[in-house]
């Protein structure tokens, strides 16, 4: 069976992204280079630079190619249980090996590379925030949240402590910490008793 040029290109792209993740796990993002990826993947350096403008852009595509299941929200009818399930999955992916250190490095790289920051925001952060807001809206519409609660603010309040701990204090993100956040937040976001 012969491969079409399009399939060969797709195979090469997949090999480059897989190699990026493997090397990143082995040597860390700081030591990762386009040259090292090219050598291990058996691709030309120029082939990589034609597809990706920087090491950060290559890492972003490589991480997004994982298509990890579980970052979508369940809708069991219990907003706290659904948030807990989704945030546990996100914490397990973003804060732990094998890919957690690479996600952290990518977020760090986004602070210095506006193109990576824009792509990360457009392709990962915003879609995840939109999913969170949509799930919160469904819960509000079902009476599980206060009818006047600002859903965008709720999303920021849910994610802020996680990013703070992940990136600033670099303390471990645990399921217990997620539970503490949810408990603290839902005391204020829950529907208020009517007088």
DSSP single-letter state for residue 53: S
- Specify the DSSP class assigned to residue 97: T
CATH number for the segment(s) 79-189: 1.10.357.10
pLDDT of residue 1: 47
Q: Which two tokens stand for residue 21?
A: 């993740």
Domain spans in the chain, listed from the N-terminal domain onward: 5-64, 79-189
The dihedral through the CA atoms of 165, 167, 171, 172 has a sign that is positive
Topology alike, domains 5-64 and 79-189: no
- Say what the pLDDT of residue 95 is: 83
> What was the pLDDT predicted at 5?
57
Q: Which CATH architecture has domain 5-64?
A: Orthogonal Bundle (1.10)
Chain centroid to Cα 35, Å, comes to 26
**pLDDT by residue, tens only, the chain of 195 residues:** 455 555 566 788 999 999 999 999 999 999 999 999 999 999 999 999 999 999 999 999 999 988 766 578 888 989 999 999 999 988 988 888 888 899 999 999 999 999 999 999 999 999 999 999 999 999 999 998 888 889 999 899 999 999 999 888 989 899 999 999 999 888 766 666 666
Of the CA atoms within 13 Å of residue 164, those in its CB half-sphere come to 9
| The predicted structure's pLDDT at residue 131 | 92
């Amino acid at each position: 069976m012969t491969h079409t040029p399009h399939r060969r290109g797709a195979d090469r792209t997949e090999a480059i992204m897989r190699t990026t993740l493997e090397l990143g796990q082995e040597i860390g993002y700081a030591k990762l280079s386009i040259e090292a990826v090219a050598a291990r993947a058996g691709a030309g350096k120029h082939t990589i630079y034609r597809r990706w403008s920087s090491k950060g852009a290559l890492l972003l595509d490589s991480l997004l190619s994982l298509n990890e299941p579980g970052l979508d929200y369940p809708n069991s009818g219990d907003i706290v249980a659904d948030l807990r399930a989704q945030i546990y999955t996100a914490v397990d992916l973003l804060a732990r090996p094998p890919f957690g250190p690479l996600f952290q490095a990518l977020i760090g790289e986004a602070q210095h590379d506006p193109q990576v920051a824009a792509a990360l925001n457009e392709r990962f952060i915003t879609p995840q925030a939109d999913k969170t807001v949509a799930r919160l809206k469904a819960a509000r519409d079902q009476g599980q949240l206060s009818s006047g609660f600002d859903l965008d603010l709720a999303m920021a309040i849910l994610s802020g402590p996680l990013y703070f701990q992940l990136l600033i204090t670099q303390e471990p993100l645990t399921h217990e910490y997620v539970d503490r956040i949810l408990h603290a937040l839902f005391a204020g976001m829950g529907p208020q008793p009517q007088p």
